[in-house]
Structure 1
Amino acid sequence: MSDAHQHPNGPEPSASDIKLVIAASSAGTIFEWYDFFIYGTLASFIGKAFFPSVGPTLQILLVWAGFAVGFGFRPLGAILFGYFGDRLGRKYTFLVTVTLMGISTAGVGLIPSADTIGLWAPLIVIGLRILQGLALGGEYGGAAIYVSEHSPPNRRGYFTGYIQGSVVGGFVLSIIVVLLNQAVFSDQTLADWGWRVPFLLSLALLAISLWMRLKLSESPVFLAMQEEGEISGNPFVESFTYPGNKLRIFIALFGVTGILTTIWYTAFFSSLSFLKGPMRVDATVVEVVIGITALISMSFYVIVGGWSDKVGRKLPLVIGAAAALVLIFPLFWAMGALANPGLQESARNAPVVVSGPACHTDPFADLTGARVSDCGKLLETLTASGVPYSVAAAAQLSLTVGGEAIALPSTWLSAEGGDAKAAAKARKQGIEEALSAHGFDFSVQYPDLPALLGIAAILLVLGGLSGLTYGGVAAQLTEMFPAPIRYSSMSIPYHIGAGYLGGFLPLIASYINARTGDAYAGLWYTWVVVAFGLLVAVWGLRGGPPRDYGEDAS
C-alpha cells in the first residue's frame, strides 16, 4: 500500500501534475537548504560578528558548533513534523517547515553583533539555528515522500533524484549568492554588514517557495489513506511498534544515512574548509571552483536515481561507499598537492618538530578557562597556519624546522599586561617568518589553470561518490516503510544520521585536525562511519529490483 497504484481510490497524477510536483518540491528544497547552508558558507563572517573575543581556532570551532546545533535538533523536527505529516498530510506540513526555515534564517541577518549586545548575540544565533534544525527535520522527508508518492514505481528513483540533487542546489545557490555579494560590496562593507544580505534574501526565496507549493494538491497516497481510514493514530509510537520497523530504522540510520551524509559533507564542506583553510587558496577561487563542480554534480543524483530504478537501490550505495573507503584519503592528498604544492614540499624537506612538556592543544581553553601550556600555544599557532608538524616529549620547549632550532622569544608565549591576543599575534608572525626562511609559503594561493582543472576533477569524483550513495536514497527510504507511518519512520533515522553523524562532521573533523596538527586527520571520522555503514548496508539492505518493503521485516 505504498503508492497511488496500490490505492484504487487515490487519484492518478497526470504528467503535468508530476512536473509541477517535482518543480515545486525541488525549488522549495533548494531554498530551504540554501537557508541552512548559508550559515556554513559565511562561517568566517559569523565567527567575527558573534564570537569575536576568542582565538581563530576556537572561533571557527564555535561557528561549526553552531552549525552542528541546527543538525542536532533535526531529529526532534523529524518527530514533530513527521507526526503532523502522517496525521494531517504531506503538503501542509512542508508548507509550515519552509516558512519556519525562511523566517529563522532571515533572523540571523538581523541580529546585532556581539560588540553591540554581548553574549545575547551568540545565544540568539543558536536559538535561530535550533529553529532551522526543527524546520529541516520536517522538510526533507516531506518533499521526498511527496514526490515519491506521485511517482510510478518504475520511475520513483529518477523523479526523487531531483530532490536529492536539490540539496546540492541549495549549497550551490549559497555559494552563488556569496560570490555576488563579494562582487557588489567592498571587503570593509562585507565585514561591517554586507554579509547579512544573503540571510535577508531568504525572505524573497520564502515567498517564491510558498507561491509554488500552494499550487500543489495533497499526495494521492495520503488522500487514499484518508478515504480508506488508514491514517495512523500515533505515527511516532507506531514507528517503533510496527512489525519489523525497528530493524528497518536501524538499517536506514547506519546502512543508508550514515554513509550518504558523511560522504556528502566531506565532498562539499570538508573540501571547502580544507582549501580555504590549511591550503590557503584564495576564497573566491575556492568558491567558484566548488560552485561549478557542485552544479555539475547535481546531475549525478538524477542519473544515479534513474539507474537505481533498473538495478535496485542497494548496488549504487554499496559501490559508492566501498569506493569512498579506498579513495577518500588519496583524493584529499592529491587535492592538497595541487592546491599548495609548496606547503607539501616544504613539510617534506623541512619537517617541523615541536618538543616539550605538556605538548597538546585544548581548542576550548578560552571557554573553560584552562591554562594552555607554552607547547600547546605553539601547536595551536602551527595548526591555525596550516603547518604539518610532529610532537616529541622533552623536558625543555623547542621548535625545529629541518633540524634547525628556531628561537622562541618570551613575547611569543606571553605579553606584558597579560595581553594574550598580542602574544598570539606576535607568535603567529614570528613563526611564519621563521618558517618562510625554510621555504614555507604563507601567501594566499592562486593555483594555475592545470592545477585548478585537477582540483575540479577531484571534486567531481567526490561529487560522484556522493551521487552514488545519495541518488536513490529518497526512493529507498520511501520504499522501506509502510505508508501510514512513512513520514515519521523515514524522517527519524534520516535526520538522526544526517543530524549527528553528518551535521557534527565539520566540528569533529576540525577538532581532530586541531588536536593532531594534521589537516587530513579529520578524514578518519568519515572513513570509520562509512566503513561501519557499509557493513550494515551489505548485511541489511535488500538487493535486486526496487520494491516496497511493506510489512516485510527484512
Structure 2
Amino acid sequence: MTAEIMTGTPERRVSRRETVKVITGASVGTVLEWYDFFLYGSLAVFFSAHFFPSGSATAGYLATLATFGVGFVIRPLGAVLFGRFGDKAGRKATFLATIIAMGISTAGIGLLPGFETLGWASTILLIALRLLQGLAMGGEYGGAATYIAEHTEPGRRGYSTSWLQTTATVGFLLSLAVVLACRATIGADDFAAWGWRIPFLSSVLILIISVYIRATLSESPVFTRMKRENRASASPLRDTFADRANVKKMLVVLFGAQAAVAVVWYTCNFYTLYFLTSTLKLPTMLTYGYMGAALLFSLPLYIFFGWLSDRIGRKWIVLAGCALAVATLQPIFQQLTVAVNPRLAEFQRTVKVELISGACSRALFAAPVSDCDKARDFLTQAGISYSLTPAKSAHEPLDIRIGENRVSGFDRAALQDALDRAGYPRAADLEAVDRPMLFGLLALLMIWGAMAYAPMSAYYVELFPAKVRYTSVSVPYNVGAAYFGGLAPFMSTAFAVQSGNIYNGLWYTIIVGGASVLFGAIFLKESRGNDLSQ
C-alpha cells in the first residue's frame, strides 16, 4: 500500500514500509534524547551530593532539580537555532545534529569529577552540560514530529505521530530499567559513590545505533518539494516572528495547550516518582518496578489516543486529558498515601505537627542555620506535613509540638524519638501496601498523561505552514516544556517545602493546567485534516 502525502501536483508516493522506517528512525533517536534527559531526573537524588557543597539535604536536592530545570530553560534557544536550520537546510540533517549533541553531553556527565575534586568548577561544568542537553532537546522534537507528519497521509497522522509520543515514556522506562539493573548488580554504597555514572556512559551505545539509523533516512518529501519549487524560506526566523498571524497561533498553542500538557505530563511521571520514594518512603527499587509497570501500561494508550484523534479530532482529547488531571490530582495523591503508606496517612490525619518560631528562613537553597530551618529540613525529608506559627519574639527558642509531645530547640534524636512515640512510620510497611489500589491510581495518571500527550505532535504540525513549520512547532513546544513543565518538579517540591504540606506542591500543576485548559477551550482551533504541503 502507498500513502499520498501532498495535494496539488503529482508527487512521489510514500509506501507504508517507508513510513514505518521513517517512524522508527525518527523515534529511536528521540528515545535516546529522552533517555539521556530523564537519567538526570531519575538519578538526581543520588548524585546531588557529588556536584554541590554539603549541607542541607533538601537544599542539595532542590539545587539538583534547579539544574535539571536549567536544561529545560535553555530549550527555547535550541528551538530557535535548530528550528531555523531545519526550515532552511532540511529536517534530516538537523535532528541528526541534535542527537549527536545530546549523546556527547550525557557521556560528559558520566565522566565529570565531583565537587570534592573540582570544587565549584564541577558544578559549573555540570550546568554547561545540562545547557548543551537542553539545546539539543530544543531542536529535536519539532524536527521529529514534522518529519513523521510530512511523510504520512492526512487520515493517519495522529496514529503515525503517536509513536513519536511514546518515546518520552520509552526513554523514561529505559532509564528506569538501566538504573534498576545497575542497582541490582552494584551495592547501594558503590552505586551512590560511582555506580550512578554507568547509565550515563551506557548511552553511547544507543547513540551509535541511533546515528546509524538516522543517517540512512531520506529528506522529508514536503521539504524536498519546497526546495525544488523555490518556496523554502530564506529567513525562517523573520518569516516566523514577523507574521502576526503565525505568532498568534504560536501563543495560542503555548498558553492553550502546551502549558497544560507539560505540567500534567511531568507531574504524572516525575513528581509521582519523587513522591513515592521521598515522601511515602517506598524503597527506590520497588518504586522503579511499580512505575515501570505503569509506564508499560501507558504505551498502547498513546497509540490509541493518537488513532482516536484521526477520527474525532485532536483538540478535545488533549484538553480533556489535562482537565481530568487537574480535577483529580489532589485526591489521587492523597489516596496514594493511603495505598502505599497507610500508617503515614493515619499519622498525618491524627497527629498535628507544629513549629513555633520567629527565626525561620524562606531561602530555598541556603544551608539550614536556625533551629527552625533545621527542623523544617528534617520534617521535609521525613515526608511530614507541618504548620509554622510565628513566635512572639525572634529570640524565643524553637518549640516543636507533635501531638502531645513537645521538643524545645532542634535536637535530631529528641525529634525523631517524639515522632516515633506519636506513631510516625520511618518507612512504608511493604506488607501493608495496597497494590491493586496503587496500580489503579498510577493507571489513572498514565491515562490522563496519554490523552494529553498522544495527539500533540499531529496537532501542532498541522497548525503551521510548511516553510516555517520546524521553527513554529519547536518554539511554543519548548517554551511550554521549559518554563511550565521543566520547572514543575522543582516548583512542586518548593511549594511543598515552603508551605509545610506534602500535597501543596500539586497546586502548581492545578493552577497552570487549569488556566491553560480554559484558555485553550476558548481560542484553540481544530487541525485534523489540514494540508501540510502549504
Q: d(CA) in 2 for partners of 1:281 and 1:544?
A: 43
Equivalent residues in 2 for 1:55-66 (5 A)?
Answer: 55-66=56-67
Please name the residue that 1:274 is paired with.
Answer: 275
Please name the residue that 2:328 is paired with.
Answer: 327
Please name the residue that 1:93 is paired with.
Answer: 94
Task: Please tell me whether the aligned partners of residues 5 and 154 of structure 2 are also in contact (alpha carbons under 8 angstroms).
Answer: no
Q: d(CA) in 1 for partners of 2:218 and 2:360?
A: 62
Q: Secondary structure of 1:281's match?
A: coil
Q: 1:167, CA displacement in angstroms?
A: 1.1
Q: Secondary structure of 1:355's match?
A: strand
Encode CA deviations 1:477-508: one digit per residue, 9 max, x unaligned.
00110000000011001000001110011111
Task: Please tell me whether the aligned partners of residues 358 and 373 of structure 1 are also in contact (alpha carbons under 8 angstroms).
Answer: yes
Q: d(CA) in 2 for partners of 1:300 and 1:117?
A: 46
Please name the residue that 1:374 is paired with.
Answer: 371
| Divergent runs of 4+, >6 A | none
Please name the residue that 2:388 is paired with.
Answer: 391
Please name the residue that 1:435 is paired with.
Answer: 419
Q: Secondary structure of 2:164's match?
A: helix
Q: Secondary structure of 2:356's match?
A: strand
Q: d(CA) in 2 for partners of 1:525 and 1:482?
A: 34
Encode CA deviations 1:125-148: one digit per residue, 9 max, x unaligned.
110000000000011111111111
Q: 1:208, CA displacement in angstroms?
A: 0.6
Q: 1:445, CA displacement in angstroms?
A: 4.3
Instruction: Name the aligned partner's letter for residue 6 of structure 2.
Output: H
Please name the residue that 1:296 is paired with.
Answer: 297
Task: Please tell me whether the aligned partners of residues 305 and 451 of structure 2 are also in contact (alpha carbons under 8 angstroms).
Answer: yes
Q: 1:359, CA displacement in angstroms?
A: 4.1
Tell whether 2:148 aligns with 1:151: no
Q: Secondary structure of 1:375's match?
A: helix
Tell whether 2:208 aligns with 1:225: no
Paired residue for 2:460, among 477, 481, 491? 477
Encode CA deviations 1:172-201: one digit per residue, 9 max, x unaligned.
000000000011111122122111010001
Task: Please tell me whether the aligned partners of residues 262 and 502 of structure 1 are also in contact (alpha carbons under 8 angstroms).
Answer: yes
Instruction: Name the aligned partner's letter for residue 384 of structure 2.
Output: V
Q: Cα 1:275–1:428, aligned 2, differ >3 Å: closer, same or farther?
A: farther
- Greater alpha carbon shift after TM alignment, 290-299 vs 103-112: 290-299
Instruction: Name the aligned partner's letter for residue 125 of structure 2.
Output: I
Instruction: Name the aligned partner's letter for residue 4 of structure 1.
Output: I
Q: d(CA) in 2 for partners of 1:204 and 1:429?
A: 47
Q: Cα 1:501–1:18, aligned 2, differ >3 Å: closer, same or farther?
A: same
Encode CA deviations 1:209-228: one digit per residue, 9 max, x unaligned.
01111111000000000011
Q: d(CA) in 1 for partners of 2:249 and 2:348?
A: 48
Please name the residue that 2:497 is paired with.
Answer: 514
Please name the residue that 1:421 is paired with.
Answer: none
Q: d(CA) in 1 for partners of 2:8 and 2:230?
A: 12
Please name the residue that 1:31 is paired with.
Answer: 32
Q: Aligned-residue CA RMSD in angstroms?
A: 1.7
Please name the residue that 1:209 is paired with.
Answer: 210
Q: 1:444, CA displacement in angstroms?
A: 5.0
Please name the residue that 2:198 is paired with.
Answer: 197
Instruction: Name the aligned partner's letter for residue 379 of structure 2.
Output: L
Q: 1:362, CA displacement in angstroms?
A: 2.5
May I ask how many residue pairs the two structures share in their alignment? 527
* Gap runs ≥5 in structure 2: none
Q: Cα 1:275–1:359, aligned 2, differ >3 Å: closer, same or farther?
A: same
Q: Cα 1:547–1:490, aligned 2, differ >3 Å: closer, same or farther?
A: same
Identity %: 38
Please name the residue that 2:250 is paired with.
Answer: 249
Q: d(CA) in 2 for partners of 1:319 and 1:212?
A: 36
Please name the residue that 1:459 is paired with.
Answer: 442
Please name the residue that 1:446 is paired with.
Answer: 430
Q: d(CA) in 1 for partners of 2:9 and 2:92?
A: 21
Encode CA deviations 1:222-275: one digit per residue, 9 max, x unaligned.
000001111111111211223511110111111111111100000000000001
Encode CA deviations 1:292-338: one digit per residue, 9 max, x unaligned.
11122122111111101111111101211221221111111111111
Q: Cα 1:158–1:237, aligned 2, differ >3 Å: closer, same or farther?
A: same
Q: d(CA) in 1 for partners of 2:297 and 2:355?
A: 43
Encode CA deviations 1:517-548: one digit per residue, 9 max, x unaligned.
11111110001111111112111112485435
Task: Please tell me whether the aligned partners of residues 407 and 414 of structure 2 are also in contact (alpha carbons under 8 angstroms).
Answer: no
Encode CA deviations 1:319-373: one digit per residue, 9 max, x unaligned.
112212211111111111111111111122221111122345422223xxxx844
Task: Please tell me whether the aligned partners of residues 158 and 309 of structure 2 are also in contact (alpha carbons under 8 angstroms).
Answer: yes
Task: Please tell me whether the aligned partners of residues 6 and 531 of structure 2 are also in contact (alpha carbons under 8 angstroms).
Answer: no
Q: Cα 1:208–1:232, aligned 2, differ >3 Å: closer, same or farther?
A: same
* Gap runs ≥5 in structure 1: 413-426
- Greater alpha carbon shift after TM alignment, 437-446 vs 455-464: 437-446
Please name the residue that 1:415 is paired with.
Answer: none
- Greater alpha carbon shift after TM alignment, 136-145 vs 321-330: 321-330
Q: 1:404, CA displacement in angstroms?
A: 3.2
Encode CA deviations 1:72-119: one digit per residue, 9 max, x unaligned.
110000000000100000001000000000011000000111111111
Q: Cα 1:447–1:234, aligned 2, differ >3 Å: closer, same or farther?
A: farther
Please name the residue that 2:140 is paired with.
Answer: 139
Please name the residue that 2:363 is paired with.
Answer: 362
Task: Please tell me whether the aligned partners of residues 480 and 548 of structure 1 are also in contact (alpha carbons under 8 angstroms).
Answer: no
Instruction: Name the aligned partner's letter for residue 380 of structure 1.
Output: D
Task: Please tell me whether the aligned partners of residues 341 and 432 of structure 2 are also in contact (alpha carbons under 8 angstroms).
Answer: no
Q: Cα 1:492–1:165, aligned 2, differ >3 Å: closer, same or farther?
A: same
Instruction: Name the aligned partner's letter for residue 437 of structure 1.
Output: R
